[in-house]
């Protein structure tokens, strides 16, 4: 009988979760979204068992992005909100901003330009605080474009 200690089982579970995450990312690149969703959901469950909050948040974000790619924005937003809450709780400014950007883009897809602008502005503020120059520039361009569309220039 091959008995594993709880620590060994946790390490194996983590390896399996990381492998499923990587597989999901590969499947997304191949546009095999339903299969990717299954991988991310399995990884999420495994990371939740190990109580790895940052990895849990990453999976919520990955799942949200798959739903966005599947043009299911309500499901995307629900998952992005889960990731956002964890990143805020952990005080991870740049990843919080990333989720704000994901939400903004999804709200833009839903034609709610005012709410998208609000989320992009929050992301802009957070990227500024995090010192993330490349993301800051990209987000500032989105804020300018949307503000112009809404007549807020």
Tens of pLDDT, residue by residue over 43-70, are 999 999 987 899 999 999 999 999 999 9
Give the residue numbers spanning the domain of 42. 1-82
- Is the same domain home to 108 and 130? yes
Of the candidate ranges 15-19, 29-33, 35-39, 49-53, the one whose mean pLDDT is the lowest: 49-53
To the nearest whole percent, how much of the chain has pLDDT over 90? Answer: 86
pTM score, whole prediction: 0.91
Measured between its terminal Cα atoms, the distance across the chain in Å is 70
* Residue where a domain terminates, one of 82, 111, 140: 82
Q: How high is the pLDDT of residue 142?
A: 93
Which whole number is the average pLDDT over 64-80? Answer: 97
Distance CA 33, CA 21 (A): 13
Specify the CATH number for the domain of residue 151.
1.25.40.10
Distance CA 14, CA 7 (A): 11
């Amino acid at each position: 009988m091959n008995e594993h200690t709880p620590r060994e089982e946790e390490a194996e579970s983590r390896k399996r979760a990381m492998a499923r995450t990587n597989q999901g990312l590969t499947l997304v690149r191949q546009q095999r979204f339903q299969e990717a969703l299954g991988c991310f959901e399995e990884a999420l469950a495994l990371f939740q068992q190990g109580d790895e909050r940052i990895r849990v948040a990453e999976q919520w974000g990955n799942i949200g992005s798959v739903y966005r790619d599947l043009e299911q924005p309500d499901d995307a937003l629900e998952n992005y909100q889960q990731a956002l809450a964890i990143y805020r709780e952990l005080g991870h400014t740049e990843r919080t901003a990333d989720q704000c950007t994901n939400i903004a883009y999804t709200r833009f897809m839903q034609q709610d330009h005012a709410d998208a602008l609000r989320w992009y502005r929050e992301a802009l503020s957070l990227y500024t605080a995090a010192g993330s120059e490349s993301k800051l520039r990209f987000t500032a361009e989105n804020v300018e474009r949307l503000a112009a569309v809404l007549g807020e220039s």
